[in-house]
Amino acid sequence: MPRASSATFAVVGARVLPIDTDPVEDGVVLVRDGVIEAVGSRSDVPVPEGVEVVDAAGGWVLPGLIDAHVHLGVWEEGEGWAGIDGNEATDPVMAAARAIDAINPREQGFDDALGAGVTTVNVNPGSANPIGGQAVALKTYGGVVDDMVLRNPSGVKAALGENPKRVYGEQKKTPSTRLGVALVLRKAFSAARSYQAKLAAADGSPVETDLVSETLVKVLDREIPWRQHCHRADDIATALRLAEEFGYDLVLDHGTESYLIADLIAERGVPVLYGPMIVSRSKVEVRHRSIAAPGILDRAGVQVSIITDHPVVPIEYLITQAALAVREGMDRDAALRAVTVNPAQVLGVADRVGSLTPGKDADLAWWSGDPFDLSSRVLRTWIDGVEVYSYDTEAGRGQVRPR
Q: Could you tell me if 318 and 364 lie in one domain? A: no
Of 347, 372, 392, the residue that ends a domain is: 347
Does residue 291 sit within a domain?
Answer: yes
The closest of 349, 353, 338, 339 to 302, measured between CA atoms, is: 338
Phi, psi of 179 (to 5 degrees): -65, -30
Q: Could you tell me if 247 and 301 lie in one domain? A: yes
Q: Could you tell me if 341 and 211 lie in one domain? A: yes
Q: Could you tell me if 260 and 225 lie in one domain? A: yes
Burial class (CB in 10 A: 0-12, 13-18, 19+), 318: buried
Phi, psi of 383 (to 5 degrees): -125, 125
Q: Could you tell me if 52 and 150 lie in one domain? A: no
Q: Could you tell me if 365 and 216 lie in one domain? A: no
Burial class (CB in 10 A: 0-12, 13-18, 19+), 127: buried
Does residue 353 sit within a domain?
Answer: no
Q: How far apart are CA 360 and CA 34, in angstroms?
A: 9
Does residue 259 sit within a domain?
Answer: yes
Distance of CA 197 to CAs 191, 215, 217, Å? 10, 14, 10
Q: Could you tell me if 309 and 332 lie in one domain? A: yes
Domain that holds residue 24: 9-63+359-400
Distance of CA 316 to CAs 2, 56, 245, 308, 377, Å? 26, 22, 38, 9, 11
Reduced DSSP (H G I as helix, E B as strand, rest coil) percent helix, strand, coil of the chain, to 5: 30, 25, 40
Q: What CATH number is attached to the domain comprising 17? A: 2.30.40.10
Does residue 3 sit within a domain?
Answer: no
Of 347, 368, 390, the residue that ends a domain is: 347
Edge-first strand order for the sheet with 304-306 is 65-70, 118-123, 131-139, 149-159, 226-230, 250-254, 272-274, 304-306
Q: Which residues contact 228 (CB under 8 A, 6 or more apart)?
A: 158, 159, 160, 239, 243, 250, 251, 252, 253
Does residue 4 sit within a domain?
Answer: no
Per-residue tens of pLDDT for the chain, all 403 residues: 334 445 799 999 999 999 999 999 999 999 999 999 999 999 999 999 999 999 999 999 999 999 999 999 999 998 888 889 999 999 999 999 999 999 999 999 999 999 999 999 999 999 999 999 999 999 999 999 999 999 999 999 999 999 999 999 999 999 999 999 999 999 999 999 999 999 999 998 999 999 999 999 999 999 999 999 999 999 999 999 999 999 999 999 999 999 999 999 999 999 999 999 999 998 889 999 999 999 999 999 999 999 999 999 999 999 999 999 999 999 999 999 999 999 999 999 999 999 999 999 999 999 999 999 999 999 999 999 999 999 999 999 999 999 9
Does residue 72 sit within a domain?
Answer: yes
Q: Could you tell me if 146 and 184 lie in one domain? A: yes
Q: Which helix (H) or strand (E) holds 110?
A: helix 108-115
Does residue 352 sit within a domain?
Answer: no
Q: What CATH number is attached to the domain comprising 148? A: 3.20.20.140
Other C-beta atoms lying within 10 Å of the C-beta of residue 241: 11
- 380 φψ region: left (φ > 0), alpha (ψ -120 to 50), beta (else): beta
Residue type at 85 in one-letter notation = D
Does residue 354 sit within a domain?
Answer: no
Q: Could you tell me if 304 and 389 lie in one domain? A: no
Q: Could you tell me if 144 and 188 lie in one domain? A: yes
Number of domains making up the chain: 2
Q: Could you tell me if 318 and 218 lie in one domain? A: yes
Q: What is the pTM of this model?
A: 0.97
Burial class (CB in 10 A: 0-12, 13-18, 19+), 200: exposed
Q: Could you tell me if 54 and 145 lie in one domain? A: no
